Every structure is written in structure tokens, then in C-alpha cells.
Amino acid sequence: MLFPELSVLADTTPLDGFYNMALDEALLDSTERPVLRLYRWDGPWISFGYFGRNDSIAKLHPGRPRVRRWTGGGIVEHGNDLTYSLIVPASHPFALIPASTSYRMVHEAIGPAFGPRTQLAPAPKTPSAPDSHCFAAPASGDLLEGDAKIAGAAQRRTKAGLLHQGSIRPCPPELWNRLPTLLAHSISPETPTPAQTNAARALAASRYGSPDWLGRR
């Protein structure tokens, strides 16, 4: 288990991509304990990494709503995946673990949900481009079932702590409830505070939903 205790925020109501990304940032800026957030999307959203090029992605997925993540990584098509975020304050020991190690540890913890055929992907011979599709290009430490990638993620570290945003597909129906128990010995339900909700709404409008943020590259 990665954590003795973990707060779980399960957003069962589908939300738009701007608010989904904004709430993760608001939680990172304010949480005092590790939080696992599970969430859904209100349509066929595309999320892409901080270094992705919006124009290129718009051509690959015309007409689909898009949001630029605060974390890195490639293009993720949402709708049939389970998306989750792990938010760990800087004071917690897990936030001090090197990125490559903590990335691998999360996927090792998820692996048992899929049985014995899972393995971690080795380092690719050539790095993936920011505009590549995440599930078509396994990165080191991604979770594979056979040769197929089933879980990938991206991280960002700030003075406040660690944000690990992940996507899992295909998603077994029971994984929504089982994922927290794979990561922690003890779990407790969490809801955003009014201050966190207000901060997320402000970030969704000023950053994630703004044309400047979406088209900055």
C-alpha cells in the first residue's frame, strides 16, 4: 500500500474539462492530506499535456471539446476511461519520492486489479511527442496488459506538493470502488470545501477555459 490513510473524493456527476482540471489545481493548493479524486467527463473531451500544440490537436480531433492539462503527457480521449488524480501535500513523504519512482509505484499498485498479465512498460527507444496519443505510445512505467497500455499518467510538482493525473482503460466496472483500496490501508470520504469549489470555479474561468491557456502553444 502506498498510503496508510487516503481521503477519497468521488465525483460521480460528470463535469466539464475546464472545471475538472481546475479542481485538481485547487485541491493541490489547499489540501493538508493525500487525496484521491475520481471523476467523470460531461462529454467526449480531449485533454492534452502542458506542452501540447492546440492547433495540431484540433486538426486530429475536430469538433471535440479540448482542455490543456497542467501536467505533461500526450493526448487522452475521455469518455470510456476512468480518470483519477492523486494530490499529495509537500509535507507528506510520498511527495518527496522522485517522479519516475512514484509514477511506477502508483501503476504497480493498480496492476492487481487486472490480474497477472500486467507489467510496467520499459523506457521507449525514442521519447513520445507532446501531440502523440497517450495510449498509443507507452512511456516508461506505464501499466501494460500484454502489449496493450491500460494506464498512463502525468505529474506536476509545486511548492504545495504533487499532482498525479491518470487515466485507465479499459476500466473494469468495479475499479471505481476498488482503486482507493489498492492505494491505501484506510480510506475516508472527502468533499471539496466551499473555498476549494470557489477557487476551482475561478481557475476554470481565468485559466483552463480561456483561449490564451488553450492556445498558448
Please count the other Cβ atoms lying within 10 Å of the Cβ belonging to residue 102. 21
- 171 is known as an active-site residue: no
Where does residue 55 rank: exposed (0-12), middle (13-18), buried (19+ CB within 10 A)?
Answer: exposed
The span from the CA of 147 to the CA of 152, in Å, is 14
Long-range contacts of 95-104 (CB under 8 A, 24+ apart): 95/157, 95/161, 95/162, 99/155, 99/157, 100/140, 100/141, 102/155, 102/162, 102/164, 103/141, 103/153, 103/155, 103/164, 104/141
Identified catalytic residue from 8, 36, 57, 134: 134
Which neighbouring-strand residues pair with 54?
A: none
Q: Catalytic positions, please?
A: 134
